[in-house]
């Protein structure tokens, strides 16, 4: 039996975003400037808006001892979890830039980050919007992080 999965997202331009979405994406762009990426030259920033309105951000950090680096998305999520454990995530924006090649399409988080984002939704008991930055002011918006990883892995699915 053949089955299929579809990804549903809203494609907009930066100018069509609401003020909160614009501000969060601008914060993700700013955070990407703090990335430490001397090897890949791929600079990523992530910004989270929590239910309280607090915004936290993170950037990717590489290390010569691959794969010891950490992605921007997980840096921001871990910071929020440690410093704001009772303040659920409402929205997340992710932006990347590089001087090594042309980015021609909206970029997606890696698989590990998608899993962590999806499990974060499970832990907090609700989804959060994900805003992905792209070239030429193109933006993709997913209603929740789990839409980026429709087949995910959860501990509750394991039986003892």
In our burial notation (b when 16+ CB lie closer than 10 A, e otherwise), range 8-44 reads ebeebebeebeebbbebbbbbbebbeebebeeeebbb
Bridge partner list, 96: 44
**Residue 94, H or E segment:** strand 89-98
Domain boundaries, the chain: 10-152
What are the pLDDT digits (tens) for 71-109? 999 999 999 999 999 999 999 999 999 999 899 999 999
Q: pTM for the full model? A: 0.94
Residue 67 above 90 pLDDT? no
Residue 135 above 70 pLDDT? yes
d(CA 84, CA 70): 20
Residue from 129, 58, 65, 42 nearest 91 by CA: 129
pLDDT of residue 160: 65
Query: What rounded mean pLDDT belongs to the chain?
Result: 94
So which residues are the catalytic ones? 73
The mean pLDDT value for 110-118 works out to: 96
pLDDT cut 70: percent of the chain above it: 99
Query: Regarding the domain with residue range 10-152, which homologous superfamily does it belong to in the CATH classification?
Result: Cytidine Deaminase, domain 2 (3.40.140.10)
pLDDT-derived band of residue 151, with 50, 70 and 90 as boundaries?
confident
Using DSSP, state whether 47 is helix, strand or coil: strand
């Amino acid at each position: 039996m053949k089955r299929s999965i579809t990804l549903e997202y809203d494609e907009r331009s930066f100018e069509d975003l609401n003020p909160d979405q614009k501000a969060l994406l601008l914060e993700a762009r700013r955070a990407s400037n703090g990335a430490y990426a001397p090897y890949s030259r791929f600079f990523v920033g992530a910004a989270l808006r929590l239910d309280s309105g607090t915004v936290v951000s993170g950037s990717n950090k590489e290390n010569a001892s691959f794969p010891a680096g950490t992605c921007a998305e997980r840096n921001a999520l871990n910071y929020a979890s440690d410093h704001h454990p009772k303040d659920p995530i409402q929205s997340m924006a992710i932006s990347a830039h590089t001087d090594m090649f042309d980015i021609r399409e909206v970029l997606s988080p890696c698989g590990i980050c998608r899993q962590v984002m999806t499990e974060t939704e499970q832990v907090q008991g609700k989804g959060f919007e994900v805003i992905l930055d792209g070239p030429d002011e193109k933006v993709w918006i997913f209603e929740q992080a789990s839409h980026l990883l429709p087949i995910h892995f959860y501990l509750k699915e394991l039986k003892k």
